[in-house]
Amino acid sequence: MRELIQRLSALDDDAASAMKIVAHFDALLAQGAGMTALVRGAAVLSGWPCGLHLPQHSIYARVDAQGKSIKVPEDPSAVLDWPHQFLEDGSDGVVWLERPADLPGASDAVILERLAAGVHLTIERVSPPAITDDAAAVEILTSASSPTARRKAAKRLRLSETAMVRLVAFRAADDSVPEQSASLDSEIGPIRVALVEDGQSFALSPAGVGPLVGVLEAFRTRSQAVAALALSSRINPVVSWDQWGALAELAVAGARLTHPDVERVAGLASDPQLLDTLEALAVSDTIRGAAALLGLHHSTVQQRQTRIEAVIGFRIASPAGRTRALVALAAYRVRDSTARTEPADPKLS
């Protein structure tokens, strides 16, 4: 495919762009990406916000040009003013691309056609009649599917509709993910998600644990589990959103801002040992406690603390300093995890 695209680029730029679009959506479908991931792909390729509305499934998704989720339009009919395409299954499902009318795009039709086709294939894969395996059931319960679909998915997993669960997010390459899990795309890249009943254990590998909710509401905690996964580290591989409380919200919000504290922590990233030491100092009351957590002599940790404080510009020893350091470190980790998934290809016009 790459060779064909290179040859086409020398002959016809439009044809080469179309092939890139086809290859992009084919790769997403091969990875088992969900509908939001498909919309995100269309937005990034086009350079404009994109959306999806499936009335029969009560699914509404909209992302901006960077692939970040945004609110749906207040007037649903407004989407018909933008380039759009209805799904061919007669369901009134529609996808759209929010390019202004005075800025036509040569690739819009191809993007919308591949997006609509990909959404249709995904519906067939995860619709209630097709719930024949646990992965599809988990995907439905962790996505904004219809209530009927979620109830049938819970039944497939032998979960009561009143069961209390936590959504747990793992890195896609993790070998210790529970068998009942699904592959999803996320803001921090490919992940696998599982539903863990209250009190149920799972392998202690890097994981982000969402808050305890009813199984039919698990999809609402997906972003929280993903953010918790982004906060995981060598020192603290399993991060629970509940344990962080308001600090988790601050970390996620801080990752979207340019703050000196976050930038200074980023200055330590070339030496992972310093980041580990900063975290140990932030979660421990004393240098000896941090040393025990790291398995190092306290004098070594004290020397590292001096180096770290010279970079970040404030003392960590006080409660306020530890909290400040922890939020800055968490914001950096969320931002770093997100940045590593940003597309390298230029936008298509």
The 10s digit of each residue's pLDDT in 167-206 is: 999 988 787 788 788 888 787 778 889 999 987 887 777 8
Burial of 113 (0-12, 13-18, 19+ CB in 10 A): middle
Pseudo-torsion of CA 5, 11, 15, 20, nearest 10°?
20
CA-to-CA separations, 238 to 6, 210, 229, in angstroms, rounded: 44, 11, 8
| Window from 276-280, 292-296, 341-345 with minimum mean pLDDT | 341-345
Does the pLDDT of residue 11 top 70, yes or no? no
Q: What radius of gyration do the chain's Cα atoms show? A: 23
pLDDT given for residue 15 in this prediction: 60
Q: Collapsing DSSP states into helix, strand and coil, what is residue 293?
A: helix
Does the pLDDT of residue 126 top 70, yes or no? no
Smallest CA-to-CA distance from 48 within 108, 115, 118 is with 108
pLDDT tens-digit series, residues 15-40: 667 778 888 888 888 777 778 888 98
Does the pLDDT of residue 342 top 60, yes or no? no
Q: Average pLDDT, stretch 146-169?
A: 88
- Average pLDDT score over the chain: 82
Its pTM stands at 0.63
Count the neighbouring beta carbons within 10 Å of the beta carbon of residue 224.
24
Does the pLDDT of residue 2 top 70, yes or no? no
Smallest CA-to-CA distance from 281 within 318, 243, 333, 240 is with 318
The pLDDT-based confidence of 281 (bands split at 50, 70, 90) is: very high
| Window from 49-58, 179-188, 213-222, 251-260 with minimum mean pLDDT | 251-260
Strands, DSSP E only, in the chain? 50-54, 59-63, 84-86, 94-97, 164-171, 181-184, 191-197, 207-209, 213-214, 238-240
Does the pLDDT of residue 166 top 50, yes or no? yes
